[in-house]
Amino acid sequence: MHMKVQVTVPATTANLGPGFDCLGLALGLTNTVTFTAVDATTATTSITITGEGANHLPRDGSNLVLRAAEVVFDGVGERPSTLHIHQHNNIPVGSGLGSSAAAVLGGMLAANGLLGSPLSQEDVLHLAIDMEGHPDNVAPALYGGLVLSVRSHDNWHIEAIAIPPLQVVYVLPDFDFPTAAARAALPTHVPLADAVFNAGRVGLLVRALTAGDFAALATAMQDRLHQPYRIPLVPGLAQALQAAQAAGAASAAISGAGPSVVAFAATGHEKIVTAVTAVFAEAGLHSRAWILPVAQHGAEVCFV
């Protein structure tokens, strides 16, 4: 068994445009999880947290990093007697930027690393998808870049798609919009025309991103499967998406399940930030913004 493992996991923007529950992009903002195993006779676990969420994330058995680690310890049938977990978070919590996927993967990869890596990367991916309930954050967080995840019978077909470097604007309004509430807003059935609308755009989006074709993104990023149902639930969101495009973004969409905005642009990112934050301010919401590169590499496990 290793004594100390550090795992770095990138943020991800899921539901990329029309890619509801299947297409996600890793971004250059990371969380770090460090597991230290100590030989001791009494079995205890302690958790410290710095950075985003430090003042409200739990330090007990309900902590998501610990719960994810327990899945691996239980599955493998081995665990350290005494474990110290330290989380340093740069990814804002509940933000549409994959903070829970980063916690799940961080916990699972660190636990697997401590045990000498009995599980393959694919085993960990499957456990993480099961725990998250959808693949579009954990798959790009694990592999980096643009990743398409397709369920095929009992398995997952995962495609990591190479794209040229790109900067995105990400704006997070201070509005509580948990993924569970965002999922509850969705219908169980959609009109055939909406399915056709999205199917064509997923193909167009993959082509546009691989070719760096910003002109095609305005159409390619449109969606009718989740955004029409979620946008009205966040104050100012509809106007914020319009403001991003008016300020020069090639396209703008909800990031993940929201409440945040992701916008693509070749240039003029600061101007888009100013426009979007001003609209949220008019709606009474303070917001924070990041300009982030695509993360070409996914999660990294390092023995320290």
Q: Which of 5, 7, 11, 14 forms a contact with ligand HSE (CB under 6 A)?
A: 14
4 burial level (CB within 10 Å; 0-12, 13-18, 19+): middle
**Nearest partner of 136 among 155, 159, 120, judged by Cα:** 159
Distance of closest approach, residue 194 Cβ to ligand HSE, in angstroms: 16
269 forms part of the interface with ligand HSE (CB under 6 A): no
| Residue range at the interface with ligand HSE (CB under 6 A); choices 35-43, 131-139, 231-239, 286-294 | 131-139
Distance from the first to the final alpha carbon of the chain: 13
Give the whole-angstrom CA distance, residue 10 versus residue 27. Answer: 6
257 forms part of the interface with ligand HSE (CB under 6 A): yes
Number of shown-chain residues binding ligand HSE (CB under 6 A): 12
Please give the residues from 187 up to 216 whose contact with ligand HSE meets the rule CB under 6 A: none
2 forms part of the interface with ligand HSE (CB under 6 A): no
For 126, list phi and psi in degrees, rounded to 5: -65, -40
CB 296 within 8 A of CB 145: yes
Q: Which of 134, 201, 224, 269 forms a contact with ligand HSE (CB under 6 A)?
A: 134
Build a one-symbol-per-residue string for 223-252: x at contacts with ligand HSE by CB under 6 A, - elsewhere: ---x--------------------------
H/E/C letters for each residue in 231-277?
A: HHHCCCHHHHHHHHHHCCCCEEEECCCCCCEEEECCCCHHHHHHHHH
287 forms part of the interface with ligand HSE (CB under 6 A): no
For 251, list phi and psi in degrees, rounded to 5: -165, 160
Distance of closest approach, residue 132 Cβ to ligand HSE, in angstroms: 7
179 forms part of the interface with ligand HSE (CB under 6 A): yes
21 forms part of the interface with ligand HSE (CB under 6 A): yes
Side-chain half-sphere of 133: how many Cα atoms within 13 Å? 4
When CB distances to ligand HSE are compared, the closest residue is 257
CB-based contacts of 120, cutoff 8 Å, min separation 6:
none
Q: Which is nearer to ligand HSE, 37 or 97 (CB)?
A: 97
15 forms part of the interface with ligand HSE (CB under 6 A): yes
Q: Give the three-state DSSP class for 298.
A: coil
Q: Which of 256, 262, 264, 275 forms a contact with ligand HSE (CB under 6 A)?
A: 256
Q: Could you list the residues that contact ligand HSE (CB under 6 A)?
A: 14-15, 21, 134, 136-137, 179, 182-183, 226, 256-257
